[in-house]
Structure 1
Amino acid sequence: MQRLLALIGPLPFIALAIVAAGLSLGVAVWLFGEVFTPTLATFSAGWRYPLTGLALAASYFAYGLTLLLVAPLLNFLLGGRLQPYRGSAVSLTALRWYVHCTLTLVVRYSFLEFVTPSPFAQLYYRLMGMKIGRNVTINSTAIADPSLIEMADGVTIGGSASVMAHYAQGGYLVIAPVRLGVGATIGLRAIVMGGVEVGERAKILAGSFVLPNTRIPAGETWAGIPARSIELERDAAAGNGEN
């Protein structure tokens, strides 16, 4: 029975991904069939093939831009806005998390790379529930659980950095908000887990891993796996040198 449940359990979320992608592809198919195809028929074969390629590419981007709106709409209609949670991975709250994750992943892996960083990506994150201040730069698509992430003014997310508002602990699913203060910087390929709060103008250096529920004070620089304050490490090293 457990194997059967493991097999059929993902099917509703696969269906949801198909619905989100299918509705968006419908716009692309309409654009190609009703707008581009009649025009392409008027060209000779020498022109028709390269122009068809351009039309297909334009249709794909129509799909992607439509998906940036369709996914948040489905997320809203299906109750995918998240609340903090700690409990079983099989529950009504967890179901909402699976919905949110499914729609986030469909967008991330089929289109988001093409518009990151750009206002289009930030519009999508806002529609998914993320709170984003002014002059924020998000140069990564590895943003999970956007409805529980808050980025204040001037936050910078480096390339391929991961910010996620969930983790697993003791057999439980934990969903906890992530807050990045004014001017905070998350370096290249750094990882920030659920429950983390980063203070104003604090920095997490490239490749660092910030453990869940960590509180990083304003102005500090953290680095390492797991991340620790560089200032504290220097103070400790100086103390050992004096001894």
Structure 2
Amino acid sequence: MKAFYLLQTLGTVAVILVMIIVWGVPLAPTLLFYEWLTEIFSSSNKWVDALYTGLSLSSSVIFYCFSLLLFSSLLQFVLHIRIKEKSVFPLASFTTIRWAFCGQIIRATQPILQHFVPSFVSNLYYRICGAKIGKKTQINTHRLNDPCLIRIDDGCVVGGGATFNGHLVEKGEIVFAPIHMKAGSLVGAGATVQPGVTIGENAVIASHGLIPKYRTIPQNEVWGGLPARIIQSSSERREMNS
């Protein structure tokens, strides 16, 4: 038990250090940007000067947000695990440590990221982190927790607050399994997609549904519930749409 508490304490210290780095480094260019703005925009009138200061501060906040997203995504690009199929590692492994650092980096970024979904900004962020995202895809969530294990094809929609997890812990080991959304599929708001799931073309996961690990959802079907079960078959959907 003492060893566990020692490990927990060291882990907490490591998390704090990661947060200091992730939040602190982007502040450096932001401070320089703010100083540059205040040098350009100044006035002897206190009301005008107050307006300039307010606009400079708000502009600097936006600048910081973009700096944080860029720095966070580049860190994950360097550190993220390169896995293309289901893989199992001991909890005490270098791969697990790399994954844990990436997880903390993305958690430190999520409070900012949530304000940029859905947009090209969040899609670009996820791509740099290692996710494969197709064209005309809308991702309205900041909870793609393992971007490097996620592939989302063309024309997909991920609803607000949906959660994707590409990992789980079983029997003292950590398991990584990629998630694949095929073209035209949809995951509803608040749904949860577990490791190793494949969602077929034009399939739909209803809001707040839970797709268990390693499940394959056939194309054109509608699934929902906790855990998710088939609600509407592909033939029934064709009949309704005809």
TM-score, normalised via structure 1 length: 0.88
Contact 1:167 1:173 in 2 (8 A): yes
- Which residue, out of 69, 94, 98, partners 1:96? 98
Amino acid at match of 1:64: C
Tell me how far 1:87 sits from its aligned partner. Answer: 3.4
Tell me how far 1:40 sits from its aligned partner. Answer: 4.3
Secondary structure (helix, strand or coil) at the match of 2:160 reads coil
Aligned length: 230
RMSD: 1.8
Runs of 4+ with >4 A deviation: none
The gaps in structure 1 that reach 5 residues or longer are 236-243
Secondary structure (helix, strand or coil) at the match of 2:151 reads strand
State the partner residue of 2:21.
Answer: 19
| Inter-partner Cα distance in structure 1 for 2:202 and 2:15 | 39
State the partner residue of 2:240.
Answer: none
Tell me how far 1:10 sits from its aligned partner. Answer: 3.0
Secondary structure (helix, strand or coil) at the match of 2:59 reads helix
Give matches, 1:39-188, under 5 Å.
Answer: 39-77=40-78, 79-83=79-83, 84-109=86-111, 111-188=112-189
The gaps in structure 2 that reach 5 residues or longer are 237-242
How far does the alpha carbon of each residue in 1:3-28 deviate from its partner, in whole angstroms, 9 at most, with x for none?
12111123223322321221211111
Tell me how far 1:89 sits from its aligned partner. Answer: 2.4
| Inter-partner Cα distance in structure 1 for 2:129 and 2:44 | 42
| Identity level (%) | 30
Amino acid at match of 2:22: A
Contact 2:80 2:130 in 1 (8 A): no
Tell me how far 1:61 sits from its aligned partner. Answer: 1.1
Secondary structure (helix, strand or coil) at the match of 1:90 reads coil
| Inter-partner Cα distance in structure 1 for 2:9 and 2:179 | 32
Tell me how far 1:43 sits from its aligned partner. Answer: 4.4
> Structure 1 residues 81, 171: closer, same or farther in 2, change over 3 A?
closer
| Inter-partner Cα distance in structure 2 for 1:209 and 1:115 | 25
TM-score, normalised via structure 2 length: 0.89
